[in-house]
Structure 1
Amino acid sequence: MATTTATPTALPADWRDFLALTKPRVMTLVVFTGLCGMLAAPVPIHPILGFTAILCIALGAGAAGALNQWYESDIDGMMKRTAGRPLPAGRMDRQSALHFGVGLSVFSVVLMYFAINLAATIILAVSILFYVFIYTIWLKRRTPQNIVIGGAAGAFPPMIGWAAATGDVTLLPVLLFALIFLWTPPHFWALALFVKIDYANAGVPMLPVVAGERNTRTQIGLYTLPMVAAAIAPWPLGLAGTIYGVSALLLNAIFLVLVAAVTFRNSSPGDKMLPEKRLFKYSIFYLFLMFGALVADRWFA
């Protein structure tokens, strides 16, 4: 008697699964830095246009997240941290995720073009394409420097927000781009240190997996130094005032202390990686507070 093996099919996805595809936690930081870039610009923007621009940034970030999960559904299923996402969990089929991501990408770019301006549109389009093709498809599975180069994708939002208000890009948004770009390696490698087994099991060449913990700790320290320089630079350059300057000095001093605790320590089997976890958590608040200080300096100084 012949037997047949049923092929598992994805369960019907609901709105929460589509929301999960957009990586809402990551989107929160993207939207916030984009908004701060807009509010720090010297030219005011009409509230409706400003809302539209931020909506486009959010949709673009969500689209990039969806396309990232579409392409990486195989390795997401191998990692404990990501196994519950809609695709590896079987709550959605890959075609739906692809159509959702592409549609959201096109809509965000087209809306930005017709509602805002060409400069913001170009930067938004570049950020989506960079994250999907350069980081996700090209770098992620090929090199331990994936997060270094790919980090540029997450650094574009303040430039987009600034360009939406002004129609151009000057030195300050470039420094904000540099801040996020240089912040990404210490932020992400701190995470990678305590989830490296996940990456190793999935075959993703994150730095702790291919170069070891000692090298990763050293790289965290090395990338933090130019990050601090980029963070403080707007103050002595006259691009930001005292509120930002004092906040930057304090926040970066704390960052350096936490980085030193990670860089100059040796872990052992069974280590709970508490310094790494503290650095990772603080690094998120650090970026929120740095950009918040920039807006406070612009509006209340």
Structure 2
Amino acid sequence: MWKFSVRRILIMIPQIILLSILIFILAKMMPGDALSGMVDPNVSPERLEELRESLGWNDPWYVQYGDWVGGVVQGDLGQSFRFKMPVSEIVGQRIINTFWLSLATLIFTYLIAIPLGITSGRYNDSLLDQAITSYTYIGFATPLFIFALVMLWVFGFMLGWFPTSGSVSPGLEPGTFEYVMSKIYHLILPAIAMALITTVNTVQYLRSEIIDTKQKDFIITARAKGASESRVYNRHILRNSLLPLAAFFGFEITGLIGGTIFVENIFGYPGMGQLFLESITLRDYSVVTAVTLLFGIAAILGALLSDIILSLVDPRIRIK
């Protein structure tokens, strides 16, 4: 097991290096910079060029990349030209909110998807299965940002059941019970909105696995030996169908990264997704590259974790 984990970690290192190069090059290819359109119009173009030269923005890209990576390795993500503070401090303030939102979304996703997928797969072609399948088809066809807007309008503005912005009520002391409950209260609606759309993939995947497993030879053999239907289903069908969900974990994390960008902006939730779009609008490329790199690393780590979990539950996939 440890050999497999070490091998996967070693494969991950060049992936992160290649990811950092692509992110840096793409950021440099974007039009303008942090000084474009946001300075006093009385400042001469010559002075702007002097500032760019002093900041090293006119150096070759590989020199700038080397300086940037050297800082990242030391924990220095650069300086934000719009927020006037280190990028690491800005990210530190936002990443906690995104983490809790993503965790809550994952919990809601599996709480919804597993019962629906099991029910749909066990009673396939029934009216209940058709209803669940119709829900997944609607989920596939509905853009996340449209669904989130509808959820915000209905449950936030019309019914007033949930707050419409922020991550905590103002004036509460951090660490108190009221503060914690307010944080939970603020993330419930965006987490459910994202989970109801992202869950459709897991429902369909689990349904297909259960239907496919029911037709396997060892299931037919178990029934022929006189095993009860509940034993066949719980000990053989369900157990073997749930194992591949571990491989879906990395995909879920990648989907959450994209989803938080939309959901956090729609719900005014101060997380990494909102910071990402704000930084693009403000041309704060030091923040953009840092956030994109962290999102990419999270996706790679999600795939790594998925492989390790799958190797634990199914040793046959381990590389010898």
Query: TM-score scaled by structure 1?
Result: 0.29
Greater length-normalized contact order (CA 8 Å, ≥ 6 residues apart):
2
Which structure is larger by alpha-carbon Rg, 1 or 2?
A: 2
Query: TM-score scaled by structure 2?
Result: 0.28
